[in-house]
Structure 1
Amino acid sequence: MSIIQIKGNVQYKITIDPSVWIFDDRKFLMDSFFENAASEENQLDQELDQERVIREGQTLPPTLKTEKKYEKERLVTGSFGMKLGDMLKNAEPLEHADTCEFVTETGTIAVPLSQAMESIAHFSQHGKPIIEEGPIHVYFADQSNLTQPIKGVKELVIT
């Protein structure tokens, strides 16, 4: 099942399907997160430069047709993530809420709500929704769980 629920001490209980995030403008390529989160601004500039070179063919100005083609290729082959805080904000955690529990098939992992807000939800691998141990893998912004992300998240319970 690819549905995730956000519930608990929130104003609005939310049910989301991460597979539709592929159409969300807030998504980003996971490659940039894996490479080095510390130099985020510098990487963004480099990625924009690389995209521009690819689109422009180094000498030709981009056309709408080449730009659309590049975007389609990126969606089909890219691995994407989204900041989990974007979804948690929509649920509007109550004032006294301070913990987020990631409920998986194997157990529950509790982290401070502030850490969960900065976490990354990896939802697409090589252009396809994460099925195995999915629908999302959660990475902390400080990359402390880079080699062991929280996998198989089914619910987010705010306490």
Structure 2
Amino acid sequence: MESIIPIKGKVKYKITLDPGVWIFDDRKVDLNTYFQQEQLQNSDLEEYTKSISKHWDREIMEGAVYPPTLKTEVKFQKEKVLTGTFGIPFKPFLDNAEPESDAKHILIECGMGEVKLPLSEAYSLILGFSKDGKPLRDDGPLHVYYQDGSNSGNPIKKVTGFTVK
């Protein structure tokens, strides 16, 4: 099974996706809870400001040394990565490929043939890449979920590529 997924077609830059490295990406989302949470649209600047504020508050309250609680947080995060089910938003990758102005649709090449979606919907897709801490080998390398979770029980499986039309 090939695990490199291309984005091609009417794009300025043809890029490839490697789901094997996304486990280390900070943009990943926990698919066990993602579709149950209210989705808030935060800007990158707002998220950055909040993280810096949290760090600053911690240093003021606890000092610049690492308190013992941080060690247990790191252990918890490692455990979560090893056992979690994760996905990643498709939007940053599609933005980097820069679809041409006349592009209207995206074809998802998968085990079912092809699934055609309007390009505007493609920006909100979530790409599942891990289940219970393991890569999707049998029906992967990617699963595609709609952001509203309407297909969370039956995602688009065996995704092998994306073509912008």
Q: Equivalent of 1:99, from 105, 109, 112?
A: 105
- List gaps (5 residues or longer) in structure 2: 41-66
Structure-2 residue corresponding to 1:58 = none
Moved over 3 A (4+): none
| 1:117 shift after superposition | 0.8
Report whether the alignment pairs 1:111 with 2:117.
yes
- For 1:4, the equivalent position in structure 2 comes to 5
- 1:112 maps to a residue whose letter is P
Residues of 1 paired with 2:101 and 2:143: CA distance?
A: 27
User: Percent identity, aligned pairs only?
Assistant: 47
Cα gap change, 1:65 to 1:95, in 2 (>3 Å): same
Shift of 1:62: 5.6
| CA positional deviation for 1:134 | 0.3
What is the aligned-residue RMSD (CA, Å)?
A: 1.5
How many Å apart are 1:91 and its aligned residue? 0.6
- Aligned residue number for residue 157 of structure 1: 163
State the structure with more CA Rg.
2
Deviation at 1:145, TM superposition (A): 1.9
> Which of 52, 55, 78 does residue 72 from structure 1 map onto?
78
5+ long unaligned stretches in structure 1: 42-60
Measured in 2, the distance between the counterparts of 1:81 and 1:25 equals: 11
Distance 2:8 2:151 in 1: 24
Which residue pairs with 1:54 in the alignment? Answer: none
Deviation at 1:33, TM superposition (A): 2.1
Number of the residue aligned with 2:32: 31
Q: AA paired with 1:21? A: W
Aligned length: 138
d(CA) in 2 for partners of 1:143, 1:74: 22
What residue in structure 2 maps to residue 126 of structure 1?
132
- TM-score normalised per structure 2: 0.78
Shift of 1:17: 0.8
- CA shift at 1:146, angstroms? 2.4
Q: Counterpart of 2:119 in structure 1: which amino acid?
A: L
User: How far apart, in 2, do the equivalents of 1:144 and 1:126 lie?
Assistant: 21
Name the residue aligned to 1:22.
Answer: 23
**Structure 1 counterpart of 2:151, from 137, 145, 151:** 145
